[in-house]
Amino acid sequence: MKTRHLLLAAPLACAPLAMPAAMAADGETDNGWTGSAELGASMTTGNTESSTINGKFKLGYVTGPWTHRLRLETLQSSEDGEDTANRTLGEFESNYALSERDYLFGVLRGTHDEFSGYKYQSSVAAGYGRKLWISDRGSWDAEIGPGLRIAETEDGERDTNAIARLSSGFEYRISDYAKFNQDVTVLAGQDNTEIESVTGLSTSLTETLAMKLSYTVQHNTDVPAGTEKTDTYTSVNLVYNFD
């Protein structure tokens, strides 16, 4: 397993966006815009020269039965002049509420990871989602649906195949100042299965600032020879929220 530990000492960051995926059945809810932005960086000089930059941006809009969410992420790292991480992700999802708990979703997703063995993996999926648990303390939702993925390996091999998309989003407010969240996405196909798990623990410093520890796992079941199937990323960030 290839592991990269990223301690981001001076970031401007924000906590993950936490928005309900389903509105009230009457369709009158209009919560407007919510968003987050994250930027972290670290640098060492001397016997070893290395640098890391980590950026995230999330934007959401809720109007009536609709929820729209945009997610952009990038991770760039180098050591002694050689890249050690180069990953970019973009995802857009729209949900339509059928009831307080049930909704339909459609999602577009694309990733580029220089060290995953794939030049890119792009997918589109649609299906059914449900709020499995709703509380004043948090929520847990799950989604399942069919989709299509187009991928190209570093060797130039291009594949288009059907996939099944499964995802889970869990958030729990431990106290007025601490929050735990975990998001898991699985894109299962005949040629490859992508798995992404993001686990975070944040502690509020002010109304808009927090300290956050996060751990990300990226896994592909089928990769070219000489490529590790799993990458992990650990970060400690300062967090900034806006809405």
Region 78-83: mean pLDDT is 80
Please, which pLDDT band fits residue 148 given cuts at 50, 70 and 90? very high
**pLDDT tens string 151-163:** 998 888 898 999 9
Give the pLDDT confidence score for residue 117 in this predicted structure. Answer: 83
**What average pLDDT does the structure give for the chain?**
84
pLDDT for the residue numbered 11? 37
pLDDT of residue 23: 38
In the chain, % of residues over pLDDT 70? 86
Size (the chain), residues? 243
Paired sense of beta strands 158-173 and 138-153, if any: antiparallel
Reply yes or no on whether the pLDDT at 232 is more than 50. Answer: yes
| Distance (Å) of CA 76 to CA 43, 53, 102, 233, 238 | 12, 5, 38, 12, 18
* 207 burial level (CB within 10 Å; 0-12, 13-18, 19+): exposed
Q: C-alpha distances in angstroms, 37 versus 11, 15, 16, 54? A: 11, 8, 9, 11
More confident residue, 127 or 155: 127
Taken in order of first residue, the domains within the chain and their CATH numbers are 2-242 (2.40.160.40)
Predicted local distance difference test score (pLDDT) of residue 29: 52
**pTM for this entry:** 0.81
The yes-or-no verdict on residue 81 having pLDDT over 80 is no
Say yes or no to pLDDT of 12 above 70. no
Cα separation of 14 and 210, whole Å?
8
pLDDT at 8: 38
pLDDT (0 to 100) of residue 24: 39
